[in-house]
Amino acid sequence: MRAEEVGLSRREYEKIVELMKRPPNDLELGLFGALWSEHCSYKSTKALLAGLPHSGADVVQGPGENAGVVRLSDDVEVAFKVESHNHPSSVEPVQGAATGVGGILRDIIAMGARPVALADMLRFGTDEASQRLRAGVVRGIGLYANAIGIPTVTGDIGFADTYRSNPLVNVLAVGIRAPNHRINASTACPQHYLVLLGQRTGRDGIHGASLLASRDFTHSSEDLRPTVQVGDPFLGKLLMEATLEAVLGGFVAALQDLGAAGLTSAVAELCHSSGVGADLWLDRVPLRQQGLSAYEIMLSETQERMLMAVGAEHLDAVIQICKRWDIPATVIGQATASDDLRLLQDGVEVGCVKPRWLVADAPRRSVARAWWDGLDQSGAHRRVDPPMFSSELLLKVLGHPDVRDRASVYSQYDSMIQTNTVYGPEHEVSVLRVKQQAAGLALAVCGSGRWAALDPYAGASAVVLLALARIAAQGGEPLGLTDGVNAGNPDNQASYEATAALVRGLADAARACQVPITGGNVSLHNETDSQAIWPTLMIGALGRHPHPLRPVGEALPEAGAQLFLINPAPPDWGGSVAAELVSELCTYPHPSLQKAHHVLTTMQHWARREHPGSVRTIGVGGLAATLVRFLAVSRPELGIDIQIAEPGADKTGRFYNEAPLQWVVVVASDQVLALQEYWDRAHIAIVPLGVVTDDATLTVDKRYRWTRSDLLGVWRRS
């Protein structure tokens, strides 16, 4: 077997020979090929990601483990992370998306946490085939999430031609655990048995994630595609229950899920984090099909499997629990005091490598400090002035698939199971109670789409600000962020620089807002025939909600209430849906990070008050879409009458501007003075917009009028 066949370069092969002091055999070469792949090693981006802020008062577990963990209270810790399944979903949308859900749930379970919520962040093309792909992906997410019984509580979806050959399927999961049930992969000791739980191993996706997700698609790459992995939420549910029961019983020393690169990755990660070696008895691995080679056993990506390190005294207890849940559990090896991972088949050593080589020693692309420091802008700058205000544009914006009501997607997901969902997917931020706790969770997800198309730095930082603005609108205290970086081929210099600018924007915004990034995912090679996607950052923001059973309202209270725009940005419509519809893609406004932390905490404290009124955050679709969303959830007789101060083309800019850190607040007239004083005192601009009416109409400047039913008819058409 040659290095190229497992995706390694000549230089990487030479490094392997240097480490091993001999040429690897085929099996060993396969292990390196999988773990040194872009997907597993992050070889192109590790140095970039080193620039992200990771620490914070509430961080229990930062990046490096299966998921980040933050502290909600003295009794509850929250694990959360985003994961991509772009390439598998492109090949087989239903199973690709389903196994993506299964995979991220096992990451959460591997931290000893019980999953309580899921969110999906999706990007598709605009042609017919992409619509079929979307239907399949949504079906796949529901197929797994609904059956395993984890509510999908929020999400984000966007469409653009750039995603036609490379759809994005990012899924985020949240789980909770008690501090005394902390577990991860780093606490295995010599002599511990290695127990493999779950599905019997088959020829599923040999080299699936490692090779498939580490190469571009070309029209001739069909035959590279490995056997599709099929998700089994039923077995996933049993595996989840058995694993958590064993963890709660105190029977598990260390825990690692099997994902990309299967057993190889799981064993190597567990050994490396724990500082142990291991003997692996491959002939004991339960198989679904006869005749699997050692190579296939080590690299199979069969789903629904977990690896546990278990002390001899607890082995029986673990086996009994698995028996009760009717899932196979087999001792397949033992941790050792050496630093070797020895692979044995029927007593014969068929391979031997050091876990460190596989996990930590892949050659990495380095980053020049000066280049990184200068990366605050990238791409072409294209400005287009908006046209004069007109009444036709609003209906076009509302009908745009990125702005439209998402109900046709989320009604296919069970969002209420577990009975914690106070605000589900029909809201712009999800609010969950945590049983027996005063504090709850606020979860906001969003992705960059066209914001980052021309200026990835600006788009990425804006997405961070938008997610945090939604948490602040609920009075939530931000606990952490998880990032999904999706970009093109890192060997293509333009794609690499775009990725770097995206990561730099993420880093700067998170640092400016003083919120740690506790973990995330990078998916590169979203490129087909040298056409890369727009670099796309998906963000999940998790906050501590002060009173989850009384969330801040998102509806209009009653006629006579007054609307205000908080922290208005300059009326620049760059990067907006409206601009794309009218003229062309133009550059998103560069967000100012200087005041971001102050603005966010000011909103957070306002929203925590007894009577904050109703609050909505401006995002994709701008002020226009925000006003219509108010109407959608309010009593049918209510309307909105606003005046926009800006004249001429700036009126259009104000109405459709998508800059982050802007909110619309609606308060009863006796609260107006308190609201204005509060924001004046903080030296943050607050602009009166208008009043709530009882004429079921949206009116702008007394001149432009749309009935509520016309607006919602367009917005809800799926």
Contact stretch for another protein (CB under 8 A) within 224-232, 312-320, 359-367, 652-660: 224-232
Closest separation in Å from C-beta 146 to another protein: 6
R_g of the chain, CA atoms, integer Å: 26
Q: Is 228 in the site for another protein (CB under 8 A)?
A: yes
The reply, when asked if residue 193 is annotated as ligand binding, is no
Could you tell me which residues are beta bridge partners of residue 119?
154, 172
| Nearest C-alpha neighbor of 333 from the set 185, 184, 183, 190 | 190
Do 442 and 126 touch, CB atoms closer than 8 A? no
Is 415 a binding residue for another protein by CB under 8 A? The answer is yes
CB-nearer residue toward another protein: 95 or 214:
95
241 among annotated binding-site residues: no
520 is in an annotated binding site: yes
- Greatest CA separation for the chain: 85
Closer to another protein by Cβ: residue 101 or 422: 422
Contact 599, 509 (CB under 8 A): no
Closest CA to 157 of 126, 132, 125, 120: 120
Minimum Å gap between C-beta 25 and another protein is: 25
Work out whether 202 is an interface residue with another protein (CB under 8 A): yes
**Interface region with another protein, contact rule CB under 8 A, candidates 384-392, 398-406, 414-422, 657-665:** 414-422
Among 1, 416, 494, 685, binds another protein (CB under 8 A): 416
Among positions 47, 59, 91, 581, the unique one binding another protein when judged by CB under 8 A: 91
Exposed / middle / buried, residue 370 (Cβ in 10 Å: 0-12, 13-18, 19+): exposed
Based on CB atoms, which residue is closest to another protein, 245 or 339? 245
Give 461's strand partners.
none
Out of 20, 47, 73, 149, point to the residue binding another protein (CB under 8 A): 149
**8 vs 30, 37, 95, 490, CA distance in Å?**
10, 8, 28, 15
Active site residues: 39, 85
CA end-to-end span of the chain: 51
- On whether 284 is known to bind a ligand per the annotation, the reply is no
CB nearer another protein, residue 236 or residue 535: 236
Q: Are 371 and 55 in contact (CB under 8 A)?
A: no
Is 288 known to sit in a ligand binding site? no
By CB under 8 A, which span of 58-66, 389-397, 417-425, 561-569 interacts with another protein?
A: 417-425
Minimum CB distance to another protein smaller for 79 or for 422: 422
CA distance 518 to 176: 15
| Shortest distance, position 716 Cβ to another protein, whole Å | 14
- Taking the complex as a whole, the smallest distance from the CB of residue 537 to another protein amounts, in Å, to 29
Strands 639-642 and 697-700: parallel
- By C-alpha distance, which of 84, 68, 51 is closest to 501? 51
Closest distance of CB 305 from another protein, Å = 12
Applying CB under 8 A, the span of 275-283, 418-426, 442-450, 462-470 interacting with another protein comes to: 418-426
Q: Is residue 92 near another protein by the rule CB under 8 A? A: yes
The one among 66, 95, 214, 521 contacting another protein by CB under 8 A: 95
Closest approach, Cβ 63 to another protein, in A, equals: 31
- The contacts of residue 22 (CB under 8 Å, 6+ apart) are none
Is the alpha carbon torsion for 622, 628, 632, 635 positive or negative?
positive
Give the interface segment with another protein, choosing from 198-206, 454-462, 478-486, 586-594 (CB under 8 A): 198-206
Is 635 a binding residue for another protein by CB under 8 A? The answer is no
Q: Is 103 in the site for another protein (CB under 8 A)?
A: no
Length of the chain: 718
568 CB neighbour count, 10 Å cutoff: 22
Q: Provide the 10 A C-beta neighbour count for residue 229.
A: 24
Burial label, 531 (beta-carbon count in 10 A; 0-12, 13-18, 19+): middle
703 labelled binding-site residue: no
- List 180, 220, 366, 419, residue binding another protein (CB under 8 A): 419
- The site for another protein (CB under 8 A) is made up of 91-92, 95, 139, 142, 146-149, 199, 202-204, 225, 227-235, 237-238, 288-289, 302-303, 324-326, 410-419, 421-422, 433, 549-550
Binding residues: 42, 81, 83-87, 106-107, 229, 257, 483, 520-521, 523
